[in-house]
Amino acid sequence: MPSKTEADLTRQRARLVDEIEVEVRETQKWIGRERLSPRVVAAMAKVPRHRFLAPGDVGYAYLNRPWTIGFGQTISQPYIVALMTELLDLEPDHRVLEIGTGSGYQTAVLAEIAFRVYSIETVETLAKCARTLLDELGYQTIYVRTGDGHEGWPELAPFDAVIVTAAAERVPPALVAQLGTGGRLVIPVGRVYESQTLVRAVKNDDGTLARENVLPVAFVPMVSKGEGPR
C-alpha cells in the first residue's frame, strides 16, 4: 500500500470518526446511546491510531476493524474503543484503571479525557513499547506497568472507572473491590472463541454491581502473567 502523508492520515481519521458515529446510531438500541459525547469524539479525532500499529500496517490504521499487534494481541476496532470509552462516562477529574495496555491506543484515548490513566499489561515487551510511544506522543498522565490484570493495582485504588480490553470468563473480584462507589466497569465477559458480551456495570453503595449487557463482542482472552487464559 502506498505511503501516506500526515494530511492523508488526518483526513482518514476524520472519515473514521464519521463512520464510528454512524455505527453508534445504527446500534443505539443495543448500546443505549444515541451518540458519542463530544469528549469521546474529540479524543477519537485526535489520537493518531497509525502510530500504534507497525510501520508496515500504517495504511490500514483507519479502517474500522481490529488489527494484530503481535504476541497474539490486537488493537481493538475503533468503534469498540469509542464505545467502551463512552460507556465509562468519564470526567476530566477521573482516575481510570485499564487492564490490557496493548500498543497503547485505548490508553491514549482515555488519557485525552481522564485525569490519570493507570494501565497494566501482561506482555512485558508490549508494555515497554507502549510506554515509550506514549512518552513520545507527550502523554504525561499515563502510568504503565507489567503485571497480572486480574489483580488490578490495589495500592492506587479506588478508581472512578475500570476498563478491561480482553475477555474474562467472569469479572475479577479484585477489580470490583478497587472500583469506587458509583464507578463504572466495562469488560467483555465470556470464553475465547465462544459467545462474549460487553458488560457495563456500576458499583452500588453495598459493593455489589448493577450490570447490563451491552453488545456481543469478540476479544482475545484475559491472561495472567506467565499463565494461559483463565
β-strand 142-146 against 196-203: which pairing, if any? unpaired
Counting Cα atoms < 13 Å in the Cβ hemisphere of 75 gives 28
* pLDDT score for 91: 97
CB 165 within 8 A of CB 98: yes
pLDDT in tens, 177-206: 999 999 999 999 998 778 899 999 999 999
- Measured at the CA of 122, the angle between CA 86 and CA 175, to 5 degrees, comes to 50
- Quick one: pLDDT band at residue 105, thresholds 50, 70, 90? very high
Whole-number Å distance between alpha carbons of 134 and 119 = 12
Whole-number Å distance between alpha carbons of 3 and 21 = 27
Q: Please report the domains of the chain, with CATH numbers, ordered by start residue.
A: 6-217 (3.40.50.150)
Whole-number Å distance between alpha carbons of 114 and 117 = 7
- Quick one: pLDDT band at residue 3, thresholds 50, 70, 90? low
Single-letter residue type at 215? L
The residues, any chain, with a CB within 8 Å of residue 63's CB and separated by 6 or more, are: 16
* pLDDT score for 225: 59
- Across the chain, mean pLDDT equals 94
Determine whether 76 is an active site residue: yes
Rounded to an integer, what is the distance from CA 188 to the centroid of its chain? 11
pTM of the full structure: 0.94
Please identify which of the residues 37, 76, 103, 119 carries the catalytic annotation. 76
